[in-house]
Structure 1
Amino acid sequence: MSIMKSQYLKKEITNYNVIPLEVSAMKISNQLYLNIDEIEDFLKYANDSNSNYVYYQYSYYNFEEYIIPKDWYSEYSKEFRTEIRVHNQHIESLDFGSPKSLTLFILQNGTFVGVEIKNHWIENQGIHLAEDTIEFIENKFYCEVKEIIVNKKGQQKKDENQLREIIFIDPEFKLCKNQELRYWYLVELLEKENMKKYDYLVQPPGIPHRGKVKMFMDKTWELFKERKRQYD
């Protein structure tokens, strides 16, 4: 069932001789929901209860959760990108100002007495979140996606080896004899302009004793000691 938008709701509420008040948050512990499906029926109840105010709150779908960002699919084929564009164009044509739900309530002796009216109009059209949609499309292009993943893993391994070789020949690194020193060493190293291309290897970085930087540098330190033993 579609839900009337705010400008029409406020007019409808005033027709029942009560004052509409929109709320941004509801922090009322005592809540009683009525088994009423129609806005007009609840407003009649509010009027019959001699309420001066009807409070209301809308919820909406988030456009950003349904549109697929370009960086998620830019490396795929033309056919793959076409499917994404069709999806995104459809999402852009939708009215995200259409409410997902509407809560109406009055206060009776400090108790929330109200109704919640829902309209799952996105789900009713068979539309899914961006993450689910791109996963479905990736399954259709399984061979292409698999090849890209293999290539990316190969490039990542190559970049990891290159970064470690840079670290191994840096005299400062051998002085970093604990996790915290190694953490800040790598963080500062990757801030250099010519080193930023390796930053993706340790994102998100975490903290000195937990996270991707710590894991990368623990392994790097072990490899460094092993190499040092071989040359000693």
Structure 2
Amino acid sequence: MLQENELITKLQKSSMYCISFSDRAYLDVVLKEANIEKLVEFAAKIKEGVIFYKYGCYDIEDYLIPDSWVDDYPKNFVKKVNAHNRYLQSLEFDRPYYLVVFLIYNGLKIGFRDTNDWLVNENVFDAEEMIEELKAEYSEEIEKAREEKNKEAEKAEKEKNKQSEIMLGELREFILSDVEFHYCKNQFARYEYIRNLYEEGKYAAHLEFLMPFGAPHIGKVKLFMDKTWAIYQQRNRENQK
């Protein structure tokens, strides 16, 4: 394929005026050969002095694998991705892979297309294809890393639940001992009670385990306060015996 400077030189030597266009163009008549000399010769015969051309290049952004795609993958996988991206950056992405050249005669666009799929010849996949290739290559490592991550998540969840149980137990004992709570005989009153507690900044860390608060008749707060009220009533009955 002719490079742009070569194309312009050839056209200028033939006293042709060349115009680069940016929009996609569909040829009405496609010449069999991608031969600029023959197109110039035809232009001379029909006394046409203007030839249009367009080069197309690959977009490197279609091939680079974003870091956000590999955040949770094994180190070896990430290293392979980084090596792939470095290799891409060493290539000349400003090197065109297609050329369209045409002139206009009697309202028809007559010309040729020339292609050089040099990136395909380099066996380079786009980002989505490449990531799938790597996933297949590192499938065992990925599965092992996923299992370890799940175990860590389960461990963290158990620890969180244990902490929640301790802190909500402390919060409940405070509420049960608070005389003001003893007058909260309906769900709305109990909901307002705990919202006021939160707004006053009391037991803020404990109350985070009940977020979001929901509404008086639904949500974590409702369930927590209903149980707390039931415990309060039960203790009252036991104390009265």
Distance in 2, matches of 1:113 and 1:75, equals 53
Contact 1:54 1:104 in 2 (8 A): yes
Q: 1:40 to 1:74 in 2, by over 3 A?
A: farther
Distance in 2, matches of 1:103 and 1:9, equals 11
- State how 1:95-114 maps to structure 2 within 5 Å: 95-114=92-111
**Shift of the alpha carbon at 1:42?**
2.6
Q: Which residue of 2 aligns with 1:166?
A: 211
**Shift of the alpha carbon at 1:149?**
4.7
**Shift of the alpha carbon at 1:100?**
1.4
One-letter code of the match for 1:17?
S
**Shift of the alpha carbon at 1:132?**
0.8
Q: 2:88 aligns with which of 85, 91, 97?
A: 91
Match of 2:61, SS state, is helix
Match of 1:144, SS state, is helix
1:121 aligned to 2:166? Answer: no
1:77 aligned to 2:74? Answer: yes
One-letter code of the match for 1:52?
G
One-letter code of the match for 1:95?
E
Q: 1:54 to 1:124 in 2, by over 3 A?
A: same
Identity percentage of aligned residues: 22
Match of 1:74, SS state, is coil
Tell me the alpha carbon deviations over residues 156-177 of structure 1, each in whole angstroms, 9 at most, x when there is no partner.
Answer: xx7xxxxxx634x223996xxx
Q: 1:131 to 1:12 in 2, by over 3 A?
A: same
Match of 1:100, SS state, is strand
Equivalences, count:
175
Contact 2:74 2:145 in 1 (8 A): no
**Shift of the alpha carbon at 1:53?**
0.3
Greater radius of gyration (CA): 2
Contact 1:17 1:47 in 2 (8 A): no
Higher helix share: 2
Contact 1:36 1:42 in 2 (8 A): no
Q: 1:45 to 1:166 in 2, by over 3 A?
A: farther
Q: Which residue of 2 aligns with 1:162?
A: none
Note the aligned Cα RMSD (angstroms).
Answer: 3.6
Q: Which residue of 1 aligns with 2:169?
A: none
One-letter code of the match for 2:55?
Y
Match of 1:55, SS state, is strand
Structure 2: unaligned runs, 5 residues or longer: 158-209, 228-241
**Shift of the alpha carbon at 1:15?**
1.5
Structure 1: unaligned runs, 5 residues or longer: 159-164, 175-222
Q: Which residue of 2 aligns with 1:13?
A: 11
Q: 1:148 to 1:77 in 2, by over 3 A?
A: closer
Tell me the alpha carbon deviations over residues 3-34 of structure 1, each in whole angstroms, 9 at most, x when there is no partner.
Answer: 33323321221122210001111466x71111
TM-score when scaled to structure 1? Answer: 0.62
